């Protein structure tokens, strides 16, 4: 079974631009979560989607948004990029909201110049 | 607010030198505790899920245990390929909360 895929793998943007990252979950998984990972803060939860609905949201500014499509694929968007947004963005999928193991994709490395 | 603290932050071992990594947690209700392994530049790779105190799980040279306040990841006779960052996370019936990880380096 194919794992979680994320595109693109690497991105370089400049301050003020916006970016969209994509995540395709494992087949049959309906829940997708997004995380930001930085050396100083570790893995921080951004948001979780299930059945096209946002179920939980972490403590991030409104510049960070996401959505999920009917095929469970998800996208996250960051608008008005700041230098501090440089990070590894990870997507994870699981079967659903009843508590299950999350499986991670390889991540998208975003660099903001 | 759920909290996870991992120690030590970094650990250097000689090949064959067994040791343990610690994950202390504070959560109002625990649905599950997870261990992941992460190699540089890659996404976390799932290792174990533990659900209740007293539970143990093993995989090759790794063994994870759980008490009501902490979890241990025991590494027996490690090899250089075990070098990675090991992450602990708790599911407190809302979202996963991760610790900052233990960076393990095993020298030949």
Given this model, what pLDDT does residue A99 score?
59
Q: Which residue among A33, A90, A101 places its CB closest to the CB of B43?
A: A90
Nearest chain A alpha carbon to B39: A106
Nearest CA in chain B to A6: B43
Q: Which residues of B touch A107 (CB under 8 A)?
A: 41-43
pLDDT, tens only, A63-97: 999 999 999 999 999 999 999 999 999 999 998 87
Taking chain B (108 residues) in runs of 10, the rounded mean pLDDT of each run is 95 98 94 96 95 96 96 98 97 89 98
pLDDT at B70: 97
C-alpha dihedral (A25, A103, A56, A110), degrees to nearest 10: -80
Interface of B with A in 83-102 (CB under 8 A): 87, 89, 91, 93-101
Q: How does strand A53-57 pair with strand B32-38?
A: unpaired
Phi first, then psi, for residue A77 (nearest 5°) are -125, 140
């Amino acid at each position: 079974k194919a794992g979680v895929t994320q595109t693109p793998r690497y991105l370089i943007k400049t301050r003020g631009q916006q970016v969209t990252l994509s995540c395709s979950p494992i087949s049959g998984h309906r829940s997708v979560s997004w995380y930001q990972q930085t050396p100083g803060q570790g893995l921080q939860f951004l948001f979780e989607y299930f059945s096209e609905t946002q179920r939980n949201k972490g403590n991030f500014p409104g510049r960070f948004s996401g959505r999920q499509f009917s095929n469970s694929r998800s996208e996250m968007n960051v608008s008005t990029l700041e230098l501090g947004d440089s990070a590894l963005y990870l997507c994870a999928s699981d079967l659903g909201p009843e508590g299950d193991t999350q499986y991670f994709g390889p991540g998208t490395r975003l660099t903001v110049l | 607010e759920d909290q996870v603290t991992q120690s030590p932050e970094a650990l250097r071992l000689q090949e064959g030198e067994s040791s343990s990594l610690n994950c202390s947690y504070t959560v109002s209700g625990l649905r599950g505790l997870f261990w992941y392994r992460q190699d540089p530049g890659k996404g976390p790779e799932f290792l174990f899920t533990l659900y209740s105190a007293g539970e143990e799980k093993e995989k090759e040279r790794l063994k994870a245990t759980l008490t009501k306040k902490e979890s241990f990841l025991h590494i027996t006779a490690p090899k250089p390929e075990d070098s990675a960052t090991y992450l602990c996370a708790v599911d407190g019936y809302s979202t996963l909360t991760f610790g900052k990880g233990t960076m393990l380096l095993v020298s030949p």
